[in-house]
Chain A
Amino acid sequence: MLVVDSIEVFYGEFQALFGVSIEVAEGETVAIIGANGAGKTTLLRTIAGVLRPRSGQVRYRGMRIDGRPAYAVTRLGVAMVPEGRKIFPSLSVRENLLIGRQSRRKGPWSLERVFDLFPVLRERADFPGIDLSGGQQQMLAIGRALMSNPDLILMDEISLGLAPVIVRELYETVQEITRAGTTVVIVEQDVTRSLQVADRVYCLLEGEVSLSGRPADVSREQISLAYFGV
């Protein structure tokens, strides 16, 4: 479904990704792990069309999408739950969710269905989105992405800064989302948590893929080496 083919990505003169290749099949949940600054967010932002690779390709369902603007990629069915949640501050909870409709895609997700998935959002629908707690904001960011009726959803560190019970709850909904057939790419520093839900895992180290495989097939030592480089 998604093929990232040896992309090199730069911020000005600084190279953040070196020939990174990953593949994601329809219906899979793929985890991308790696330490601070490894390039995980850069990889997601390149897939989503925010950044352009200097070389290499990103293909989605056989179409090249590198070089297309982010809004066009979203309209093809690739949604992002961005790092830091990025709730629109001047929009209410409901309005933040309704923004998801800008993808102009038809599908199963509606305001009501997102409210059923995260009932707390229904209770606070008319509050400003940024008045929610961190965990609720993360639910809102996931709900907003679902509202675009994506086929592929990219999630960037949804557990960051949240209490373990909330993280567990969020991961349960991630599994609900994957069960419904949506393909998920999940970026995490929380290795244990992400390996529990992933069908396959890639590890990034200083801008390169240092390990890939099925969670069952890779040992703790291999992961630790690929993650820290030592």
Chain B
Amino acid sequence: MDWAGTIVQGLLLGGFYALYGIGLSLIFGVMRLVNLAHGDLIVCAAYLSLVLIEVTGLPPLLTLAIVIPVMFGLGVLLQRGVLNRVLGSGPMPPLLITFGISIMIQNGLLLTFTADTQRLPAGSLETASVPIGGLATVGVLPLLNMAIAILAIIGLQQFMGRTDLGRAFRATSDDPTTAELMGIDSRQIYGLAMGASLALIAVAGILLGMRTTFGPSDGPARLIYAFEAVIIGGLGSLWGTFAGGLLLGVAQSIGAAINPGWFQLAGHILALLVLAIRPTGLFARTRDL
């Protein structure tokens, strides 16, 4: 087995999971909401890009400029129009609603686009790669994704730590009732958080769609990868989730190298091991968002 190559490929794949996971833990962190439609929304972003490419002829990367704001707006609408109404009535109603949205998206995509798998036509980018240190060649797309994941984390940290709105996010996460008493409209914060989450996963959804195929029923698997990235890395730390995503990718990649059928299994086993040995995750910080 080419260990170096396998691990590099795993890390790059993990960059996508990191973005999925950051999106998921962002909304869990701010409003303790588990979005079961998270994976389907990732797939949704890829289809949105596909439609744009077919209608406008734009190259896939440029569709990001449209899909990111659209997904952001969709997140705000979803939160303010639907999810905000059931917050505060226990964990069950939001779970049921996002589960329902997940099923609606899957069926909507199936009806509109059939069960055929799709791929975003990336042209030469699809296979473009650069050699790294003579060990392995790596694709330009996953590198781009990795760069975006890292920039997103740095950007989120700066935002959370240095801006009034970012502090309002953290205060709301700590204690929404007291935050409201300080003049913070928590529902607006929740809307923005969901918007930011969907904007992040739009990036991952489109970049991954240029590299591998996707279909209407791929959402749940991606939700699980997002969960596993968060479980491995630990809630409450963006870099932890990032590292969790990378480790998940490496585990899957090594599993697949040993036996192609072990791709998913290896990732699940790693996540279960972490749950059993260190339930808070490998890099969890005790006090933080």
Query: Does B54 interact with chain A (Cβ within 8 Å)?
Result: no
Query: Does A5 interact with chain B (Cβ within 8 Å)?
Result: no
Q: A86-B181, A90-B173 are in contact. List 8 more A-B contacts (CB 8 A).
A: A50-B177, A50-B181, A71-B180, A72-B185, A79-B181, A80-B181, A102-B164, A148-B183
List the B side residues contacting A102 at CB < 8 Å. 164, 168, 171, 179, 182-184
CB atoms of A88 and B175 under 8 A apart: yes
Range class of the B interface residue count: 20 to 34
Which residues of A approach B to under 8 Å, CB–CB? Answer: 48-50, 69-72, 74-75, 79-80, 82, 86, 88-91, 95, 98-104, 128, 144, 148
Least CB distance from A77 to B in Å reads 10
List the A side residues contacting B167 at CB < 8 Å. 91, 95, 98-99
Q: What's the dominant secondary structure at chain B's contact region?
A: helix
Given A70-B181, A82-B178, do A99 and B287 touch, yes or no (CB 8 Å)? no
Q: How many angstroms from the CA of A101 to the CA of B181 in the assembled complex?
A: 12
List the A side residues contacting B168 at CB < 8 Å. 99, 102
CB atoms of A91 and B171 under 8 A apart: yes
Least CB distance from B155 to A in Å reads 19
Given A50-B180, A88-B175, do A98 and B185 touch, yes or no (CB 8 Å)? no
CB atoms of A71 and B175 under 8 A apart: no
Query: Does B126 interact with chain A (Cβ within 8 Å)?
Result: no
CB atoms of A71 and B184 under 8 A apart: yes
Query: Does B218 interact with chain A (Cβ within 8 Å)?
Result: no
- 15 CB contacts below 8 A, A to B, read A49-B180, A69-B185, A70-B180, A74-B180, A74-B183, A75-B183, A82-B178, A86-B178, A88-B170, A88-B171, A88-B178, A90-B174, A90-B287, A102-B184, A103-B183
CB atoms of A100 and B182 under 8 A apart: yes
Q: How many angstroms from the CA of A90 to the CA of B164 in the assembled complex?
A: 14
Least CB distance from A58 to B in Å reads 15
In the complex, chain B residues 152-176 whose Cβ is within 8 Å of any chain A Cβ: 164, 167-168, 170-171, 173-175
CB atoms of B182 and A148 under 8 A apart: yes
CB atoms of B175 and A86 under 8 A apart: yes
Q: How many angstroms from the CA of A50 to the CA of B88 in the assembled complex?
A: 13
Least CB distance from B244 to A in Å reads 21
Which single residue of chain B is at the shortest CB-CB distance from A85? B178
CB atoms of A98 and B183 under 8 A apart: no
CB atoms of A104 and B183 under 8 A apart: yes
Q: How many angstroms from the CA of A48 to the CA of B181 in the assembled complex?
A: 7
Which single residue of chain A is at the shortest CB-CB distance from B288? A90
Least CB distance from B31 to A in Å reads 15
Query: Does B138 interact with chain A (Cβ within 8 Å)?
Result: no
Given A90-B288, A101-B164, do A82 and B171 touch, yes or no (CB 8 Å)? no
Q: How many angstroms from the CA of A91 to the CA of B167 in the assembled complex?
A: 8
Query: Does B289 interact with chain A (Cβ within 8 Å)?
Result: yes
Which single residue of chain A is at the shortest CB-CB distance from B285? A90
Q: How many angstroms from the CA of A89 to the CA of B178 in the assembled complex?
A: 12
Q: How many angstroms from the CA of A98 to the CA of B177 in the assembled complex?
A: 17
Which single residue of chain A is at the shortest CB-CB distance from B172? A88
